[in-house]
Structure 1
Amino acid sequence: MTFIRFVGKTCGFFGYVLQYACVTHCTFEYIGDFVMCSGPSMEPTLESNNILITEHITPRLQRLRRGDIVIAKSPSNPRQNICKRIVGLPGDRVKAHFPRRSQIVPKGHVWLEGDNSSNSADSRIYGPVPQGLIRSRVICRVWPLDKITSLTDF
């Protein structure tokens, strides 16, 4: 009888682990997660090794606003995520880098730029970014602790 109780308790334990894993996965996939920022493109707003809390709901509902900082798949390297600020929404006229003239952001796209314009590969290089590549919107910085701050206007 003790073997059957052991198997029952083990199955119960793994059932709880599976439930918590599913809840955690759904939370990080559909609600929000933590992201570590790297690279100089968003300085001085964000620095390398800052840890950010992001949310996934606003991009899915297409409620992004000019000025939001977002995490997106890189249009030039899909294995890499980028952290940039939305500078232009569909229909906005923005200054393009190549060719040196203004451009209108097409429907279904946004114009992303880093805050450190002299050291940022962004829409000025690769053009408008499809909204489908945007993964999440940054809510706040939580690391380093002495620089905890909200990065949105609710």
Structure 2
Amino acid sequence: MLRRMLGKTLGFVGYTIQYGCIAHCAFEYIGEFVVCSGPSMEPTIVNHDVVFSERMSRHLCRIEKGDIVIAKSPFDPNMNICKRVIGMEGDKICTSAPSDLFKTHTYVPKGHVWLEGDNLKNSSDSRSYGPVPYALIRGRVCLKLWPPHGFGTLSESPTKRIIKSQSDSHSD
């Protein structure tokens, strides 16, 4: 009796570990569901929208200007941020203070990206904390899942801040 109960318990623990490992690998290397909060990506993504963030682009270095990414916050490793990639390494970025009085140019250093929220007036982003290391990017947002009326791929930046250079175009 005890042997049979111990066998069933160990079998259950074994299956739990196996399925836990499969789930971990799926979330780490394929993608994850993310509930977004805060106003920084409005109107593209609003508070409580659910998006799917795929991880393959990050691992294959396929993040491009215009992509929306989930990244670790440069200030708090326990917090994720959702922002749009405005510039890649080597790009010259025209930045401005929230008051729009002072405009400066910044070059994105090697191994970094420039991230900004779509809601420029209400976003803490690279304009505040500078370029973000590529290693902090967790995934690329490819699909909005919730609410149902917003289901689908995400639109281009409403701020029109992304300017693709000739080298960004693959086929023209």
**Normalised TM-score (structure 1):** 0.91
Query: Identical aligned pairs, as a percentage?
Result: 53
Partner of 2:75, secondary structure, is: coil
- The one-character-per-residue Cα deviations of 1:16-51 (angstroms, maximum 9, x if unpaired) are 111111111111122211111000000000001011
Q: Over residues 109-136 of structure 1, what are the superposed CA-to-partner deviations in whole Å (9 max), with x where a residue is unaligned?
A: 1110100111111111111111011111
Aligned residue in 1 for 2:14: 15
How many corresponding residue pairs? 152
Q: Which structure 2 residue ranges, 5 or more long, are not aligned? A: 157-172
Q: For the residues of structure 2 that align with 1:77 and 1:9, how far apart are their CA atoms?
A: 43
Give the 3-state SS of the residue equivalent to 2:8 in structure 1.
helix
2:132 paired with 1:129: yes
Say whether residues 1:118 and 2:121 are aligned partners: yes
* Aligned equivalent of 1:107, options 99, 110, 131: 110
Distance 1:105 1:97 in 2: 15
Which secondary structure state, in structure 1, belongs to the residue aligned with residue 45 of structure 2? coil
- Give the structure 2 partner of residue 142 of structure 1: 145
- Secondary structure at the counterpart of residue 101 of structure 1: strand
Matched residues in 1 for 2:21 and 2:154: separation?
29
Contact 1:140 1:152 in 2 (8 A): no
Q: How does 1:18-97 map to 2 (within 5 A)?
A: 18-97=17-96
Which residue identity is paired with 1:135? Answer: R
Calculate the aligned-residue CA RMSD, in Å.
Answer: 1.7
Distance 2:78 2:11 in 1: 38
The aligned counterpart of 2:164 is none
Q: Which amino acid aligns with 2:128?
A: I
Tell me the TM-score normalised to structure 2 length. Answer: 0.82
Task: Please give the alpha-carbon distance, in whole angstroms, between the structure 2 residues aligned to 1:57 and 1:107.
Answer: 21
- Which runs of 5 or more residues in structure 1 are unaligned? none
Q: 1:152 Cα shift?
A: 7.8
**Partners in 1 of 2:73 and 2:10 — Cα distance?**
42
- The worse-fitting range, judged by mean Cα deviation, of 25-34 and 111-120 is 25-34
The answer to whether the Cα contact below 8 Å between 2:44 and 2:155 also exists between their aligned partners in 1 is no
